[in-house]
Amino acid sequence: METVPDRRMIHAEDAPHPMAGRFRGFLPVVVDVETGGFNPATDALLEIAAVLIEMQGDGTLMRGETYRYHVQPFAGARIDPASLQVTGIDPHHPLRPAIPEKDALQRIFRDVRRAVSDNDCKRAVLVGHNSFFDLSFLNAAAAREHLKRNPFHPFSSFDTATLAGVAFGQTVLARALTAAGIGWDKASAHSAAYDAERTADLFCLICNQFQPIYRETMERVARLDINLGEIEGGPPFAEPAVD
């Protein structure tokens, strides 16, 4: 007589990655951009960095791999000299290893899509300090370069300025990091990679400190047998998996 396997039994290797359940199927990815101004439609994207977030065995988050690219200004891009004074970037320096905007985004998107798949998530969600700024430049550049496989949610994001304001009473990145005990190197600031990595450290620290609240919530949901996915108020559009 053939034995029918118990469908309730799930082998560990077949179970979804724990990250898939932590943020409703989203994979948080920290992004920082350095630009030639404040208008994503007209101003140059000069640097972009993406930092992956990883989950450890105990459910805590930690900073993962960093991807960082210098970007050539797109044709006709506006560059405000005042922005360059802040960032210290010389867009036309002969030794600057800049690549075309389309290439930079394609490389970032490819690595993020791989991470989304590896974590059994369906989409990435951008994490940034004043995240609307980074997301607006990311979306504008993707549209300008006609890139269709953007793994990031088009409008949702996690803003560490808001989170740090709640957790530490500070919204400026340098002050929030100092208050959190992480530290800040002024000489390294306004590098996309450095800012993204410090933002990732801040995001992980806040999430880890809120972990007891998250666990209590999940226990309450399980105890009351609540299916949050069936509650009205979902997204106004489909969120297909990113392949």
pLDDT tens digit sequence for 207-220:
999 999 988 988 88
Helix (H, G, I), strand (E, B) or coil at 41: coil
pLDDT tens digit sequence for 175-196:
999 999 999 999 999 999 999 9
Task: Return all residues near 211 (Cβ < 8 A) that are at least 6 apart.
Answer: 59, 60
pLDDT > 90 fraction of the chain, expressed in percent and rounded: 80
CA 124 to CA 131: how far, in whole Å?
A: 14
CA 189 to CA 8: how far, in whole Å?
A: 51
pLDDT tens digit sequence for 128-165:
999 999 999 999 999 999 999 999 999 999 999 999 99
Q: Which of 17, 70, 153, 190 is catalytic?
A: 190
Looking up tokens 């101003």, which residue turns up?
A: 43
pLDDT > 70 fraction of the chain, expressed in percent and rounded: 89
**Do 118 and 17 meet the contact criterion of CB atoms below 8 Å apart?**
yes
Tokens of 145: 């370069």
Instruction: Give the pLDDT score at 133.
Output: 98
- Show the CA angle centred on residue 50, arms to residues 79 and 52, nearest 5°: 170
Q: Which of 123, 126, 146, 151 is nearest to 136 (CA)?
A: 126
The β-bridge partners of 117 are none
Residue range 17-226, CATH number: 3.30.420.10
- Residue 237: pLDDT band (50, 70, 90) is very low
Strands 98-99 and 26-35: unpaired
CA 119 to CA 159: how far, in whole Å?
A: 22
The amino acid at residue 92 is H
CA 206 to CA 136: how far, in whole Å?
A: 24
Instruction: Give the pLDDT score at 217.
Output: 87
Residue spans of the domains in the chain: they are 17-226
Helix (H, G, I), strand (E, B) or coil at 181: coil
Distances (CA, A) of 228 to 25, 224, 236: 13, 11, 16
CA 157 to CA 128: how far, in whole Å?
A: 8
pLDDT tens digit sequence for 22-65:
999 999 999 999 999 999 999 999 999 999 999 999 999 999 99
Instruction: Give the pLDDT score at 10.
Output: 43
Q: Is the model's pLDDT at 9 over the cut of 80?
A: no
Please indicate whether residue 190 is annotated as part of the active site: yes
